[in-house]
A and B are shown apart, each in its own frame.
Chain A
Amino acid sequence: MKFSFSPKWLILLAVCLFVTITSGYFFTKRSETGGGAMPLPPIVDYNFHIRPILSDKCFACHGPDKNTREAALRLDTKEGAYQALVETAGMHAIVPGHPDRSEAYRRIISEDESVRMPPVSSNLALTDYEVKLIERWIQQGAEYKPHWAFVPPEKIGIPNAHKSDWPINEIDHFVLAKMDMVGLAPNPEAEKHHLLRRLSLDLTGLPPTEEQLGRFLADKSVAAYEKIVDELLALPTYGERMAMHWLDVARYADSYGYQDDDIRTQWPWRDWVIHAFNQNMPYDRFVTWQLAGDMLPDATKEQLLASAFNRNHKITEEGGVIEEEYRVAYAIDKTNTFSKGILGITMECAQCHDHKYDPFSQKNYFELYAFFNNSLEKGLEGLVNSGPSKTPRLTLTQQDVAGILDFINKGDDTSAVSVSVMGERDEVRPTYILDRGVYDAPTERVYPGTPAAILAFDSTRYAPNRLGLATWAFSNENPLTARVLVNQLWAMVFGQGMVTTVADFGNQGALPSHPELLDWLAADFRDNGWDVKRLMKQFVMSATYRQSSRVTDKHLKADPENRYLARTRRLRLSAEAIRDLALASSGLLNPEIGGPSVKPYQPEGIWEVTSSGRGALTNYVQDHGGALYRRGMYVFIKLTVPPPNMLIFDASNRDMCEVARQRTNTPLQALVMLNDPVILEASRVLAAVLLKTSPRAKPRQHIERAFRRILSRPGSDQELALLDAYYTDELKRYTASPDAAQAFIAIGEAPQESTVPVVEQAALMAVMHALYNLEETITRT
């Protein structure tokens, strides 16, 4: 492969190279760039150096929002910045080549507080470094460029500068080129058992089975890795894992969300999402059906079901609300979900006023909103207890589910289930700009459209409705759709996006760490039929992905955030994956896919104390039997009181579209791992299984096996000795107090193993409990 960069990125690369080498960071936090000694880049680039400063510090008053624009000056466009100032005759804000004649620059450096910019009252200030950057940029001609993310991605040449046999696929060439620039080298490949656990958690959300582990470790062939990747990608648990991300984007929940917060049945849509991922439905079709399944010619029930995506938002059943206020709120939610989840832009800022940082006007917002403003739904259809779906609804009978919709898991229930879906009015409801975004303040009439800064909506090519919008989103010229999904999935696998602000590709968003790679992957994804499995395989096949996660002092010094990917980032597992890991490794997991959500153990009283007392969800009625051991993604989400053990581990509260979760580390998480019955029950059951299957084995052998099941690796001698000693201590304690042993193993509803001695079981259970509480256990290493 030839080393060639498009001219577009060439200059960028040059400037980035300089910044990275001199600072050690590709993207230093703006307010930290004040460090006195940092030299200026030889070529100052608008996109990478200047726009972030202007956007953050100037655009709020001199940007796209005409209503808050001061002195009729805008600095976000070349025309605005170069033209003669309205308020200062004969002067121009920016005169290319002449900082001294540029009024904007003069005001920035002014000692006089009454004229200095930004004004003191804004609580904003430029650092010396930022001022010098602006000075040099003006000296060099003050060249403006279009925002990188609004230019369609193209596939450019793959760098191959480094004579290395490290790269496996295209990703690695880009990553290695960047590492070369900053003087980092890739970590060695991770150990095989770590690789398998990593793959299995990333692709299925579950740890590998003992059988998989044994087979993979034994397979010394070159093809072993790819073989296991293909195997994992083909498992039905792959669809579940991918769906977990999409349920956050689609703010899926099992209740209506407002006030009385009664039950609703959107779960058949969730089953469809799992099915779609498992069928490897191309992303363009996947999204088109969800945006406009109901509008496709001769729409099938499956396509109609997919359109439930746009009905997952909260729906009020509060008596006395003004219908129109809520009908508008629903259309706004749909607009925001589309722009954030699929386009990766923060359109909601333009709901009340022109966007302050991005070139989106309030008019643009309501043009986009117009696509979602023609739905048949009502603002208030009925009060609490009026049913688990709202008009328009899709009713799914036993017959439907026996046919093509057999992925819907109705279990033994033969009654029909209904889902809120989309439906379009025959007569177009006129859309108006709403003053300050308020439902009862319509002003100018607008028509369906998209922001020209992204890609103007060509009404000769696209129908002015949701179906047209979907076609627009997947046109080859659309600059965002492919990049945004590639980045979302990249963040899922690599721990953070190449664009760290996964939901914001606008001016205020972060710049990509690997712009050429992101573009290459986006174009490749688009040009290869939006094939999601193929993309996931590209990620995990790369040498980048396979690196060890060992962190060195050099890493911590040069790249603490791992922007350059010279190691694999250790990641704390998601709330769902933590639960799944405990269930799977103990053998408790019920692998059933889909169906109505379940209500496992939950601390007493938390629904009751907050409930209005109306509706089906007033009291938490816990399930029993197999339902207790379903995967975390099937745990019932009551929006006003989401499952606390999940929220504590940063699960989305599903209140609105969320594209990337936080990953925090708190004492409440420790309390969940120590005291949540699900973890204790898994510990008990695993101890019983080990003792029952090998009654004559030594404690140390049980512990060895538990290592393989929970951590997918052998324990070291030191670890085994520590835990063996712990077992002995606990055995002593429980021998002295058999009642305590009995009480300890009484946890959970899974049947007790009566053939296993109580005291030994309690002692081994304590060891299992310790294993579940290791940092490594809930971490993808």
Chain B
Amino acid sequence: MKTDDMIEKELAQARLYQNRRQFLSRLSIGIGSAALGSLLIPDLFSGSGTKEELLSRLPHFAPKAKRVIYLFQSGGVSQLESFDPKPKLREMMGQDLPESIRGGQRLTGMTAGQANFPLVGSYYDFAQYGKSGAWVSAVFPHMAKIVDDLCIIRSLHTDAINHDPAITFFQTGAQQGNRPSMGAWLSYGLGSENQNLPAFCVLVSKGKGNGQGVYAKLWTNGFLDSVHQGVQFMGGPDPVLYLGNPAGTDKVSRRAMLDKLAELNLLQFDAFGDPEIAAKVQQYEMAYRMQTSVPEVTDLSKEPDHIVKLYGPDCLVPGTYAANCLLARKLSENGVRFVQLYHQGWDQHDNLPGQMALQAKDVDQASAALVTDLKQRGLLDETLVVWGGEFGRTNYCQGRLEHNNYGRDHHPRCFSVWMAGGGVKPGIVYGETDEFGYNIVKNPVHVHDFHATMLYQLGLDHEKLTYRHLGRRYRLTDVAGAVVNDILA
């Protein structure tokens, strides 16, 4: 907990940065040598930063985690083939879902017209693993080996039943509307740990299963300052858009150009006195530093063999999930506050047994490797890793139920995710669903609760991390959410 003195000191420090003339006197010490607090320090030049605004984003509690790596499994992973085994469904294979269990749940347009809802059990067998004895399906042999590091939540639930609103809800706390993404909230709340990298980085990959696309609005800053927007890292030659110098130039000539620019800009500053001019010079310096720091951090070629072996051979193929997991570790290790991965292809409306195996093969080894790797580096304690999708899948078959083949529709009432590290209890399974895998019977965790818990681990009170926009204070958790204390170490 911060004392009042500490808060006052931080406020004083923050105000110091906001004093433009102080800033300029720092600048005059020498261009390029002026060190700012952070690359993307919030609102540094926008002139905002009242006591209220600063207080809203100071750490409110002693944080357990410093950073988050979010392994988003886009499309809706089936809980029934991953972490929530339901033998009853195998027993009742082909029988209709009892109306008492469905309880008026609205259905998507894809199965609302079905004459019946035949229950279907998992194609894959489950077994218990580790000291905790957690059940994991056979498609995830690597994750099965690390269950003692995981906190598996079987009782997540959400409000939305279609991809776009559900994924938007998970990312921003609202189904519709241009609200900031959770990474943007953390960037706003905590700033960056590294002067030379963005606070919020985004990595996207595609699996072989049915994909639903992801959207840039998922990593939007919404109404927050655009410095909090997620920066997408790509697999191609330019890991960050527009990062690379043009052909025919190099680092030396770029440096020479920036020096000239700074001299010319300062002539303008002398003529007009606008502090924005000095700020611009600083941003060019930061861009220059990013041109060095980003290629360094994204260069996976120097990773030793045992690491490559741990993540699997795909980790050397840019743009794959495995490569993104390895890159996520490097970014996180270098102080990136929030690394957001998206892996597409989890929407198994049909051919689930075949597709899910392919999807699992893409992510299983690298997801487990990331946790193991962080742990061996002593970083797992301060890094919260999250794995899961936007909703679960129905316990009944969508379309025709065949021998060894079936599909599942979207299901919002329960699904499974896991968390690891970051002060979350390892080796536990939290929450319980009924024997049909349809309803939660114990310890439900709403998306808002999940967000509140995540923020809490980072030292932020979800009710205090607010931003005033269009006349009201907004939160990631909107007007709801409660910290799930049971899962905190």
A555: chain B residues within 8 A (beta carbon): 273
Q: If the complex has contacts A605-B234, A606-B234, A653-B217, are A666 and B249 also in contact, measured as CB distance less than 8 A?
A: no
Q: With A258-B164, A380-B109, A726-B256 as given contacts, are A503 and B227 in contact (CB-CB < 8 Å)? A: no
Q: Does A359 contact B (CB under 8 A)?
A: no
Contact indicator A726/B216 (Cβ below 8 Å): no
A370 shortest CB reach to chain B, Å:
20
Residues of B within 8 A of A641 (CB): 215-216
Q: Does A123 contact B (CB under 8 A)?
A: yes
Residues of chain B at interface, number, CB under 8 A: 91
- The residue in chain A whose Cβ has the minimal distance to the Cβ of B277 is A775
A741 to B240, CA, bound (A): 25
Would A647 and B229 be within 8 Å (CB), given that A320-B410, A604-B236, A664-B46 are in contact? Answer: yes
**CB-nearest residue of chain B relative to A656?**
B178
Q: Report how far A611 CA is from B342 CA in the complex, Å.
A: 12
Chain A window 757-781, contacts with chain B (Cβ cutoff 8 Å), 1 for yes, 0 for no? 0000010001001100111100101
> Which partner residue on chain A sits nearest B206 by CB separation?
A609
B216 pairs with A610, CB closer than 8 A? yes
Q: How many residues of A contact B (CB 8 A)?
A: 107
Question: For A611, what are the chain B residues with a Cβ–Cβ distance below 8 Å?
Answer: 213
Q: Which of B248, B272, B284 lies at the interface centre, i.e. has the most chain A CB atoms within 10 A of its CB?
A: B248
Question: Are B244 and A675 interface neighbours, CB within 8 A?
Answer: yes
B23 → A minimal CB distance (Å): 12
Q: A560-B47, A609-B319, A668-B231 are in contact. Are A770 and B257 (CB under 8 A)?
A: yes
Distance between Cα atoms of A664 and B206 in the complex (Å):
33
Q: Are A650 and B226 in contact (CB under 8 A)?
A: yes
Of the residues A261, A642, A744, contact of B246 by C-beta under 8 Å: A744
For residue A414, CB closer than 8 A to chain B, the reply is: no
Are the C-beta atoms of A357 and B471 separated by less than 8 Å? yes
Select one of B215, B226, B463 contacting A664, CB under 8 A.
B226
Query: Given that A723-B260, A773-B261, A774-B264 are known contacts, is A762 also in contact with B470, CB under 8 Å in the complex?
Result: no
A680 at interface by CB-CB < 8 Å: yes
- The docked-state distance in angstroms from the alpha carbon of A260 to that of B286 is 36
CB–CB A766/B211 < 8 A: no
B59 to chain A, nearest CB (A): 15
Tell me if A552 and B267 are in contact (CB < 8 A). Answer: no
Residues of A within 8 A of B47 (CB): 560-561
Contact, CB under 8 Å: B273 / A551: yes
CB distance from B346 to the nearest CB of A (A): 13
Please pick, from A319, A329, A606, A666, the residue contacting B176 in the complex, using a CB distance under 8 A. A329
Interfacial residues of chain A within 311-340, with CB under 8 A of chain B in the complex: 316, 318-323, 329, 332
A513 within 8 A of B: no
A64 to B291, CA, bound (A): 53
Contact, CB under 8 Å: A670 / B213: no
Q: From residue 25 to 61 of chain A, which have CB atoms closer than 8 A to chain B?
A: 29-32, 34
Pick from B108, B274, B281, B470: contact of A320, CB under 8 Å: B108
Point out the residues of chain B lying under 8 angstroms from A675, CB to CB: 242-246
Please report the C-alpha to C-alpha distance between residue A571 and residue B331 in the assembled complex, in whole angstroms. 35
Majority secondary structure of chain A interface residues (helix, strand, loop or mixed): loop
**A612/B213 in contact, CB under 8 A:** yes
- Cβ 8 A contact of A550, one of B40, B227, B272, B463: B272
How many Å from the CB of B441 to the closest CB on chain A?
25
Answer whether residue B464 sits at the interface, using C-beta atoms and an 8 A cutoff: yes
Q: Are B253 and A722 in contact (CB under 8 A)?
A: no
Whether B241 lies near A644 (C-beta < 8 A) is yes
**Is B50 located at the chain interface by the 8 A CB criterion?**
yes
- Taking the nearest CB of chain A, how far is it from the CB of B167, in angstroms? 10
Q: Which B residues are CB-close (under 8 A) to A653? A: 178, 216-217, 220
Nearest residue (CB) in B for A774 is B264
- The total of interchain contacts (Cβ-Cβ below 8 angstroms) comes to 261
Please, how many angstroms separate the alpha-carbon atoms of A504 and B106 in the complex? 36
A89 CA to B26 CA in the complex, in Å? 61
- Residues of A with C-beta under 8 A to B279: 665
Return chain A residues, CB-CB under 8 Å to B236.
603-605
Q: Across the two chains, which residue of chain A brings its CB closest to B160?
A: A325
Q: Given A570-B272, A680-B246, does the pair A674, B213 have CB atoms closer than 8 Å?
A: no
A531 part of interface (Cβ distance < 8 Å): no
| A667 close to B472 (CB less than 8 A) | no
CB distance from A311 to the nearest CB of B (A): 17
- Residue A718 CB within 8 A of the other chain: yes
How far is A503 from B50 in the complex, measured between Cα atoms in Å? 21
Interface centre among B21, B264, B281 (most CB of A within 10 A): B264
B351 within 8 A of A: no
Q: Cβ of B110 < 8 Å from any Cβ of A?
A: yes
A400 within 8 A of B: no
Q: Is A20 an interface residue (CB 8 A)?
A: no
Tell me, yes or no, whether A248 is within 8 Å of chain B by CB. Answer: no
Give the residue of A316, A346, A570, A676 whose beta carbon is less than 8 angstroms from that of B242: A676
Q: Does A278 contact B (CB under 8 A)?
A: no
B252: nearest chain-A partner, CB-CB? A733
Give the complex CA separation of A501 and B256 in angstroms. Answer: 42
In the bound complex, what is the Cα–Cα distance between A400 and B39 (angstroms)? 54
Task: Return the contact of B213 from the options A29, A259, A440, A556 (Cβ within 8 A).
Answer: A259
Min Cβ gap B294→A in Å is 10
- Give CA–CA (A29, B48) in the complex, Å: 9
Bound Cα distance from A645 to B241, whole angstroms: 9
- A655 contacts the other chain (CB 8 A): yes
Most buried by A among B163, B254, B470: B470
Shortest C-beta distance, B140 to chain A (Å), equals 25
Counting CB contacts under 8 A, is A671 at the interface?
yes
Query: In the complex, are the beta carbons of B214 and A610 less than 8 A apart?
Result: yes
Question: At the interface, yes or no: A85 with Cβ under 8 Å from chain B?
Answer: no
- Contact between B106 and A671 (Cβ–Cβ < 8 Å)? no
B218-232: CB near A (< 8 Å → 1, else 0) gives 001000011101011
Does chain A have a CB within 8 A of B142?
A: no
A357 and B164 within 8 A (CB): no
B residues near A776, Cβ cutoff 8 Å: 265, 268, 277
Q: Check A747 for interface membership: any CB of B closer than 8 A.
A: yes
- Closest residue of B by beta carbon distance from A651: B226
| A743 and B212 within 8 A (CB) | no
Interface core residue of B39, B226, B276 (most chain A CB under 10 Å) = B226
B242 touches A645 (CB 8 A): yes
Q: For residue A632, which residues in chain B have a CB less than 8 angstroms away from its CB?
A: none
* A698–chain B nearest beta-carbon distance, Å: 19
Q: Let me know if B216 and A718 touch, CB within 8 A.
A: no
CA distance A296 to B176 in the complex (A): 32
A630 sits at the interface (CB 8 A): no
Q: A549 on the interface (CB 8 Å rule)?
A: yes
Query: Are A774 and B261 closer than 8 Å at their CB atoms?
Result: yes
Q: With A610-B215, A664-B227, A674-B287 given, is the CB distance from A722 to B471 under 8 Å?
A: no
Flag whether A160 is at the interface (Cβ < 8 A).
no
Q: Using Cβ atoms and an 8 Å threshold, which residues of chain B touch A613? A: 211, 213
Known: A610-B213, A662-B225, A730-B253. A349 touches B268 (CB 8 A): no
**CB of A669 within 8 A of chain B?**
yes
- Which A residues touch B205, using CB under 8 A? 609
A501 contact from B178, B231, B280, B470, Cβ within 8 A: B470
* Extra A-B contacts (16), CB below 8 Å, given A322-B108, A667-B284, A773-B284: A440-B106, A550-B272, A613-B211, A640-B214, A640-B217, A647-B229, A653-B217, A655-B217, A671-B241, A674-B245, A716-B267, A719-B267, A740-B247, A770-B261, A774-B265, A775-B280
- In order of increasing CB-CB distance, the 9 nearest A-B pairs are A744-B248, A508-B471, A612-B213, A320-B108, A640-B215, A320-B110, A670-B287, A743-B248, A743-B247
Q: List 13 A-B pairs, Cβ < 8 Å.
A: A31-B50, A259-B212, A316-B164, A321-B162, A322-B108, A357-B472, A506-B471, A603-B238, A610-B214, A613-B211, A666-B227, A671-B243, A726-B260
Residues of chain A at the chain B interface (Cβ within 8 Å): 29-32, 34, 123, 258-261, 316, 318-323, 329, 332, 346, 349, 356-358, 380, 440, 501, 503-504, 506-509, 549-553, 555-556, 560-561, 570, 572, 603-606, 609-613, 639-642, 644-645, 647-648, 650, 653, 655-656, 662, 664-672, 674-676, 680, 716, 718-719, 722-723, 726, 729-730, 733-734, 740-747, 762, 766, 769-770, 773-776, 779, 781
